[in-house]
Amino acid sequence: MNLLFIKSTLPSQSGWLLLLAILLSACSGSTKKSEADRETPTSGTIRISVDESFKPVMDSQIKVFESSFPNAKIIVRYKPEAACFRDLANKDSARLIIVTRELNRQEENFYKDSFHLIPSYGILAYDAIAIVVNNKSRDTILTMNEVRGMLSGSSPDQPQVVMDGVSATSTVRYAMDSILHGQPLGKNVMAARSSEEVINYVASHEHSVGFIGVSWIGDQDDPQQLHFLQKVKIAAVECVSCLGKTYVEPYQANIALSRYPMIRGLYYILNEDFSGIGNNFVNFLQFERGQLIFRRAYLVPGRMSFEIRDSKISE
């Protein structure tokens, strides 16, 4: 008897399971892609990382932006500056970061080689490093040499210096690069987890000095910042560009006129190669409404000029 064996073209049970898994995977991938395709400048979600020093003003910016574009959602994480740059290198972590420096040449080359795209970046506003002291302190007028002595640990009275972290933050980087010119921080410098903790520490320790971004204590219309100002005092620092011995506080006019000696820029860096929420938010920050929010927070707008007038107060 001749037997005829017919090989079935239908998959076995395991074959069906494999085929089903492939189809589900393809459907999932197409759904994920369509979600990305659906993002527009006014709808969708973006993750951004922001230097912790600018939390108060950036909270205000995001609140106004999202109220103007209800279908756009910004998920913000406040971090040390170095962590923001690490997030930018991974688009899944952050397409946009707000920090206190631009990309350097080495970083531009990295993005060009890795993504075939150099992120766009530019100035948004100007900020200052403020020095806060305990309310009982008499040392509220400082020269830059005294400031350097505090940071390096060579000051005769050795105050306890508090910063928002001892590494990887923009305030620490500014202190080491622009004030100490590459010299290390002294052993008297300690870390706090945030700018608010810097203020709280100085408020409770008489022989201490804190370094924070001015956006935490500059807005005298903000109830929380007014509360901070009741707990500490702002030190005046020597104006090296002024005639005679002049000491100034980090007020907006002193930043705009470069009278205050510790000024830094606030920059956006955007790694987005399509017209999405990131581009729209950057435009918002650069144009009138965003620039006015920076001004109200007592930073100096970097993209919109405004007039400074002398005034006389009659008694």
Could you tell me which CATH number the domain at 44-125+264-301 has?
A: 3.40.190.10
Whether 1 shows a pLDDT value over 90: the answer reads no
C-alpha count within 13 angstroms, C-beta hemisphere, residue 197 = 10
The strand ranges marked E within the chain are 44-51, 72-79, 96-99, 120-134, 141-142, 160-163, 189-191, 208-213, 232-234, 236-238, 247-248, 263-270, 300-301
Calculate the average pLDDT of the chain.
86
177 beta partners? none
Q: In this structure, what is the dihedral angle of CA atoms 244, 247, 253, 258, given to the nearest 10 degrees?
A: 60
Out of 24-28, 58-62, 240-244, 307-311, pick the least confident. 24-28
- CA distance linking residue 52 with residue 264, whole number of Å: 15
Q: If pLDDT is split at 50, 70 and 90, which confidence band does 15 have?
A: very low
Q: If pLDDT is split at 50, 70 and 90, which confidence band does 9 have?
A: very low
Whether 10 shows a pLDDT value over 80: the answer reads no
**pTM score > 0.75 for this model?**
yes
48 beta partners? 76, 96
- CA distance linking residue 298 with residue 128, whole number of Å: 10
Provide the greatest CA pair distance for the chain.
Answer: 125
* Distance from the Cα of residue 192 to its chain's centroid: 17
- CA distance linking residue 284 with residue 172, whole number of Å: 29
Crossing angle between the packed helical segments 288-296 and 277-286, to the nearest 10 degrees:
60
Paired tokens of 244: 């005679």
122, with CB counted inside 10 A (0-12, 13-18, 19+), is middle
Given a contact cutoff of 8 angstroms between Cβ atoms, the answer to whether 57 and 222 are in contact is no
- CA distance linking residue 22 with residue 20, whole number of Å: 5
- Topology of domain 127-261, CATH: D-Maltodextrin-Binding Protein; domain 2 (3.40.190)
- CA distance linking residue 164 with residue 172, whole number of Å: 8
Whether 28 shows a pLDDT value over 50: the answer reads no
List the chain domain ranges.
44-125+264-301, 127-261
